[in-house]
Amino acid sequence: MLPVGTQAPDFNVKDHNGNDVSLKNFKGKKVVLWFYPKADTPGCTMEGKGFRDDYEKFRAKDVVILGVSLDGVSGNRAFAEKFSFPYPLLCDENKDLALTYHAVKSRDDGYASRITYVIGEDGKILEAIEKVDTKSHSSDLCSRL
């Protein structure tokens, strides 16, 4: 995991709607960058629904939610539409983002690890969370931000 207190590396990837998304677009806001292994699988769905259900609470705290997987645009779009996710799902098909943030060890990895970063308004990493409970992750995180 990237160390707390270090500058979060910028990135530029497509979201599930085909839009370009960069970390620098969110300067001045806290960002929750949550990596998940595979769209529309049980654990990822549970975690995603948690962020969906808490989305307005995060917004009230001026926190941006960004999900990230190695899935393509069409797979993540179907996942987002099926469960009405109101936040972007980033499509890291080339694994650059996952490698940079240590969610994969190599380009040969088939799935991202289930990890989360909280990035501060100044672009520095506030939290690096290695162990995630898919049932309570969103609410636990929201309660302390």
Instruction: Give the residue numbers marked as catalytic.
Output: 44
**Splitting the chain (145 residues) into consecutive groups of 10 residues, what average pLDDT does each group show?**
98 97 96 98 97 98 98 98 98 98 97 98 97 96 95
Q: How many domains does the chain have?
A: 1
What per-residue confidence (pLDDT) applies to 130?
Answer: 97
The pTM assigned to this predicted structure is 0.97
Whether 140 is covered by a domain: the verdict is no
Kindly state the helix (H) or strand (E) to which residue 128 belongs, with its residue range: strand 125-129
Q: Would residue 51 count as lying in a domain?
A: yes
CATH number of the CATH domain containing 129? 3.40.30.10
Secondary structure letter of residue 27 according to DSSP:
T
Q: Which domain holds residue 63?
A: 29-134
Burial grade of 100 (CB within 10 A; 0-12, 13-18, 19 or more)? middle
Q: Is residue 141 part of a domain?
A: no
Q: How far apart are CA 114 and CA 91, in angstroms?
A: 15
pLDDT of residue 91: 98
Instruction: Give 3-state DSSP helix, strand, coil % of the chain, rounded to 5.
Output: 30, 25, 45
Does residue 9 lie within any of the structural domains?
A: no
Within a domain: residue 8?
no
Residue 56 has a pLDDT of: 98
